[in-house]
Every structure is written in structure tokens, then in C-alpha cells.
Structure 1
């Protein structure tokens, strides 16, 4: 597989910043088309991190990314703010590291037998926790879940969860959480100020609460953006809810279509009508899950959320993006935003099939294979 990135590159986290003849950095902060990721420099100390094809996972914060390689020895490479030299970029021989989560001031690493929290600029973990499993094969849940709870980005890092939830996957937004259970049910908690909990209101939930609107529908995956949430059903249908200010739900957005006209909003600021045109209805906040058609004929297999944009992969390997596009994170060759899903043409034009997508707050990362490798 090969990985591409596009969107915010202000700290060289996707494509390194070249030096001009006068020694100044020529920074390209907006990458509007996909480019191969570059988390290394051409030097002896980075040789083991020079293969894009052995990248297994990418995790992104606003200013940095963490890239896990499968080569031996396994390495976790960093790129972005505060990461300058090749030695720093490939500084961690990760051994049995299975996954990572990265923020602006910390990085969480998940191993077969433990979890570690590293602060920026430190050469050793500041916090660790043993993970006990019965067969020594590591957790059977997806990070940031760990047996009995999950790892948060702020102290206390370990947060317990009831075993009755049967959690198998967890997505963390800016102020909310979306959990998928083994039974296919979805639970949310945290801030609901933008409808991101999906319970039909803007209230906060202190404890995980089942999403009643999706009860009876088996879900297969969940994702969380800054203030919006999405999930994919077992059948490949996409459901969205939360804030739609930039069209990140793929629903009509006033900012994308109506400009600054005077509008009248009903209820809890969910539906707004353009008073000048009357018939145009815009969605500011979608407080209940809504079924969204990414494409008429294809089911969705993968989805990821940025701060205010969303990206989805169909089961035929096509990438669609929508929402805020100020830094090119939609991959459409421009900095326009969109409240409608649009196919990213680059990959089809290159004969590539998309197999995975991971969104950072202001950028997007895509894993691909050649079409002719698909049997």
C-alpha cells in the first residue's frame, strides 16, 4: 500500500519544506492535490523509514503526524511541528507498538502489554499503564480502547467504561465520544452543544447513552469530528449528525450556498430558512442521525472526520470528501468547501484504488493500492 496526504502542511507534516538559496524555508501550507507522504529525509539515520509502502497506520493532530511502519525493527516516525531532523523523525523503535494517538502536546502509544503517554520534547514516557490480557496477544479492542476503559488526551488518561457496553471501537471528538458496541449499537457522551451526541437536543451527557434513533440498525464503525459524528451500518449506509456549519454532514449549509442572507431558524437552531428565497432550507445543526447518500450505487466501507470535513471510501475503492476545504483537505485541487460529497478524481486518474482514509483536523491521509493488484 502507498499513502498520500493533502490539506494543511504548515509544519511540513505531509511534504517537507524545501530550503531556498538564501536558506529560508519555502513553505507550502496548502496542498490541494494528493502527494506521497514524506516523513523522512534522505540520510543514513532515516534509511529504515524511507519506504512509503510499509506504512501501516497514520495518526494526525493539527501540527504533527505519527506514522507506524511495519518494517523490522518497527519504527514510529514523526513529522511536523518540533520535528526537524531525520533522527527526530524516526526516533522511536516501537517494537511491539500496535497503534498510536497524537495530540499537540502528547502522544499515546499502545503496546501488546502496556500503554504509554509521551509529552512533546521528552525522551521517556511520563505515564504508563500495564495492559493485562489472557493470551498475551494484546487487547482485542481498537485503541484508544483498552481492557476495562479507554485512554483520553487529558489527565486522568485512563477512563473506565462499564463492561456491559461491550465496547469494540471508540472515536473521540473535540468534546465528545462515540462508542460502538459488539452488538452494533452506538453510544455517545460528552458535550452536545452542536448536536454531536445525536439525541435530538444540545444537552451534555456525563455517561454513555445509547443512540435510540439507531436502535435496531446494526452499525459497523464510528467516527467523530470536531463537533460532528458519523457511523456506517453493517450494510454500508452512512449516518451523520452534529454541526453542519461548513457542510461537513453533506447537508445543505448556509455558509456554502446562501452567503450572509438574513435567515430565520426554528427549534434548537436545527433548520434555517432563507427569508429572501423562502424555499431554501439549510441545516445548521442536525441533532438526530440522518441517512446520507454518498453515492447512489455504492456502499461505504470507511469513513473519517476532520475538524470540519469528512471523507468516505466506497466498497469499490473510490474516495469522496465534503465540508471545509480552506487548506485543500478535500483533495479537489482547490480551497473551496462543499456541502455535497464529491469524488476525488486523482486516485482514479492514477489507476489507484483507495482502501483506507484517516483525517487530521485540517488534512486527509489516504492508503491506496494499484487497481491491477485487486483480484
Structure 2
């Protein structure tokens, strides 16, 4: 397995250049904005951490955590590690961990016998929070699927531990800074938290203090859930993708008025420059009778079915702050939404409200198996295999 990253790299979350290792914030666009998928391995091999066959990526805004799963499992941090350095290092306290999650303030580690949360803003020799775990009789390891933990979940900010009703029978949980989406054992989706942009999927803009089932999805069991800053997504057992919430940057893959206006303004500026240079008039605007009324969606308060590609089902989905990425069962990666930092992987800085395949991996005959979105960047796991589906 190989991991690639693209998007926001101001702190060296994707790769580290000399200016960043010296602790200097770079204003070089090529260092901050990585628009072409870049392999993570080469950078980490030159430092205190090497990529293994099995592993996972966890990402926050300024950091990336690489979880290496082998006989000597550990976590490597890349990005804003301390007040004076942007680098890659191994977290010594993580040796032997089985899972990890990271936020801007804390790194939480799951061991076979305990959970530990370390405050990344302080240099302490003991965890800021910990709890012992009891293994189940039928298993040698405890039932932990971070951020879910026995009896509750780990939040993105203090208080870190939040309780959950056992009646929910949660199997997975996705968190933004202000709202949460939970998947139960029966495939039912629950949401709670801030609802100002329709991100809870209940049809309104009201916040919810307690988990509430998304009624529009009743009768359709879901297999996974994901959440961005103000939008949410889930995949059905049949491989269908549902999205809802804020669509200002096209992160739902639905027509966005704000995004189209920005692109039109950019195009008109380019056309104006061309007119001045070539002394030719820009294309005439269509007459009033020729214009077609287009429906734009700023907020989608109910789950909407997003048909990315009729030929393939969706395997996994991940949400950034204002962009979304999904992997099909045939190994293709599609991205859409805000792209100002190159986080869509199309080797441009253009945003899009239409899902587009990341051609880099197809051209390199790589089969994408997983995707993880940071707030402003994207990480994709691939294997070397030609994709058969067109």
C-alpha cells in the first residue's frame, strides 16, 4: 500500500522542504499548495519514520498522523509538531497502539488495554486523559473504533470524553468541530450538534442537543458515514452516496451559485485580458430568450442522492472542510468542492461542484483503496493495479 497527499501543505503535512524544517513559515505557493498527488513515503524514509505495508492516515488542519500497523506499530506526526518545527517524527508513547485519531489540540491513542489522549499544545510526559479497557471474553482485544470508545466517544475538543446511550448501538462515528453523525448496528443514521447549514439532514436549520435519527434515510441501511465542517455524507449498503448540508463551494456535488459566480468572474477577467491583447471582442452574452433557468442549491437540508458514476458503486467517502472525496468499487477516486489549495488532486487550483475523477491515479495504473480528507487536503491509499472499469 502507498499513500499520496495533495492540498494544503503550509506546515509540511504532505512533504517537508528545507524552509519548513528550519521552522520558517513558507510563502512559496508550490510549498503551500500541492495540486498534484505526491507520495508520502519518500519524505518519511529520510526521517525517523518509515512507511509500512499496512497503515492508516488521520488528519487535522495543521497535522497528519500516520498509523503504522505491524509488529512494532506506532504513530508518526507530520506538520505542525511544535512551536518551532514543521517535520516528521515518531511519537514514542504510541508504540504498540492499535488505533489513533488527531485534532488540533489532542492525539488519542488506543492500546489493547487502555486509551490515552495527549495534549499536543503542551510538552507533558503523561497523557491529559486516560482510561483502562477491559477485553471481551470472546476477543483478545477491546471493542474500540475511534472516535468511539466504550460508553461514549472522544470529541475534537475538551471535554474529550462524551457519553453515548448504549441503546444507539453505535458502530462508527464521524465528527466535525460542531456536529456529529453516527451509524448504528442496524444501519440507521443519527446526527446532532450545530444545524445552521442543514448539516444534520432533518430538513431544517435547527441544532440538536441529542442524537436524532435522520428520518429521510429510514428503510435504507447505511454502511458508512462522513462529515465535513458544515456538510455530511453516507453510503448505503447498495453503494449509493447521499449528501446534505452546505453547498457554497460545491462540496455536495450539486450546482452552487456562489461557485459558478466565482468561476464566471474569473472567466470574464480572462476574456477581458484576451480582448485587450488580441483586439477581439469577447463572446456575446446569450439573449434573454435563450437563457436557461438553472437551479442552484446553497443548503441541502435533506439527504440527496448523488449519482457520481452509474457504472460503479461507492466504496468509501471522506469530507474535508469544504470538499469531498469518494472511492468507487473499481478503484477510481472522485473529488469535488473547494479546490483553492489543490485538494481536489486535478493538478489545478480550481473548485468544482461536479464530481470529477482524479486522472493521475488512472494514468499511473493505480487502484485507489481508501481516501482520507484533512480540512484543506486529501490523502489517498493506492495499490499498483490497472483499473478495468472505464
TM over 0.5: yes
Picking from 149, 160, 167, the partner of 2:170 is 167
1:6 aligns with 2:9: no
1:61 aligns with 2:64: no
Picking from 193, 198, 212, the partner of 1:195 is 198
Aligned to 1:360: 374
- Cα 1:234–1:117 shift into 2, 3 Å: same
Q: Distance in 2 between matches of 1:171 and 1:95?
A: 25
Shift of 1:92: 2.1
Shift of 1:296: 1.7
Which of 1 and 2 has greater Rg?
Answer: 2
| Native 8 Å contact 1:11 1:80 kept in 2 | yes
1:184-333 alignment to 2 at 5 Å?
184-259=187-262, 279-333=293-347
Q: Secondary structure at the match of 1:164?
A: helix
Q: Distance in 2 between matches of 1:115 and 1:127?
A: 8
Q: Distance in 1 between matches of 2:177 and 2:208?
A: 14
Deviations 1:131-174 (A, max 9, x none): 22323633435210011111112222211111111100000012
Aligned to 2:275: none
1:138-149 alignment to 2 at 5 Å?
138-149=141-152
Deviations 1:100-126 (A, max 9, x none): 111122111122222111012333311
Q: Which moved more, 1:337-346 or 1:10-19?
A: 10-19
Q: Secondary structure at the match of 1:257?
A: helix
Q: Secondary structure at the match of 1:150?
A: strand
Shift of 1:260: 9.8
Shift of 1:241: 0.3
| Native 8 Å contact 1:117 1:127 kept in 2 | yes
Q: What is the number of residues matched between the two proteins? A: 353
Q: Distance in 1 between matches of 2:361 and 2:292?
A: 40
Q: Distance in 2 between matches of 1:104 and 1:301?
A: 28
Aligned to 1:269: none
Q: Distance in 1 between matches of 2:172 and 2:33?
A: 32
Q: Distance in 1 between matches of 2:86 and 2:263?
A: 46
Q: Please report the TM-score for the alignment, with normalisation by the length of structure 2.
A: 0.85
| Native 8 Å contact 1:139 1:146 kept in 2 | no
Deviations 1:12-47 (A, max 9, x none): 111111359x9978650000010011563625xx2x
1:131 aligns with 2:168: no
| Native 8 Å contact 2:156 2:176 kept in 1 | no
Unaligned runs of 5+ in 1: 262-275
Aligned to 2:383: 369
| Native 8 Å contact 1:98 1:111 kept in 2 | yes
Deviations 1:302-321 (A, max 9, x none): 10000000000000000000
Unaligned runs of 5+ in 2: 265-287
Q: Distance in 2 between matches of 1:172 and 1:285?
A: 19
Q: Please report the TM-score for the alignment, with normalisation by the length of structure 1.
A: 0.88
Q: Which moved more, 1:355-364 or 1:108-117?
A: 108-117
Shift of 1:223: 0.3
| Native 8 Å contact 2:151 2:166 kept in 1 | yes
| Native 8 Å contact 1:169 1:179 kept in 2 | yes
Picking from 31, 34, 40, the partner of 1:31 is 34
